[in-house]
Structure 1
Amino acid sequence: MKELDDLSEKLHLCDIKPDNFGLRDNGEVTLIDTDCALFEENLLMQFNHTNCTSHDDCDFFDCRGFCDTKTNKCLQERTNNNMQAVCEDVFVGYFPKMPTGLLRDPPGSIKVELFKLLQECSSPEVETDRQGVRQRVQPHTIKNLQELLHKSIGEQ
């Protein structure tokens, strides 16, 4: 996901699901369906709706928007990020109460810590004055998740 932030303009993946990714012969994950991948400027134009009554009205698929409920206008701002959408829709799955994602059945040695990190990744709780708005996953959570997954691969 880091590579997506190193482009001249940030690329937002707005339709995250396992079927949109493939695996190369060398083990790298690659995007195979990019119909809802938008550069920053194009995504912000998607958020430029005229009316909203809730934050959901401003969403563009998995790219979450923000509704200014004082003006009932969507702000041109994404409130989540690509990694958060991957955690939510690929790693955890579409049904959080009943995990269906890629990491739904981890080894017992990392299960508790992994589920805690996936919760932090998919639904971070960050102190903010914006009540009810999903916040971006924090870099330390991504780092801890990567380290845990690498460690668990080394144990096998």
Structure 2
Amino acid sequence: MTTGVGAVATIIGIVVGGFVGRRSEERKWVRDAKAEAFVKFLEQYVSLEIDLRDAYSEGRADAADWQGYNTALVALSLVAPREVSAAVEPMEEAIQEMIILGDGPPNHTEYERVHALMTESYSKFVNEARRSLDRKSEPLEFLVGGPPPWHMVRRWLPPSPAERQPE
């Protein structure tokens, strides 16, 4: 009888252990897939921001890798929870505003507003992504990487038409 009970307990232990192990592996895979998608998206976003900034300051059309950006966006949509996906929307709005801004004459006041939107939305996305990977994660107050502070961007911009002195 004790041999039979021991055998049943062993079988139950194997089944439960396999179930718990598989669940743990699935969670780890999902977390790793999310982290990879978040990193790829942020890489593409920063690359896009740099190209749009350069295009604006040089008065040229952008040469951004839209395929890479959209691929990263699709990968993100497969694994991102709702809060992280919602944090992408203002980032997208900022990109669209930057494209529109780049089509017209330089307007540094408007660019500063759009740049602030890009920086704010980047920060919100990073904090939502961190929280989705680890619920105990505290929001970051400042970020390393992403769009640079406005004062660093501003000093490299050529004068806007309103700032030029008449000769």
**Could you state the TM-score of these two structures normalised by the residue count of structure 2?**
0.29
Structure in which a larger fraction of residues adopt strand: 1
> Which one has a bigger Cα radius of gyration?
2
**Could you state the TM-score of these two structures normalised by the residue count of structure 1?**
0.31
Higher relative contact order (CA 8 A, sep 6+): 2
Structure in which a larger fraction of residues adopt helix: 2
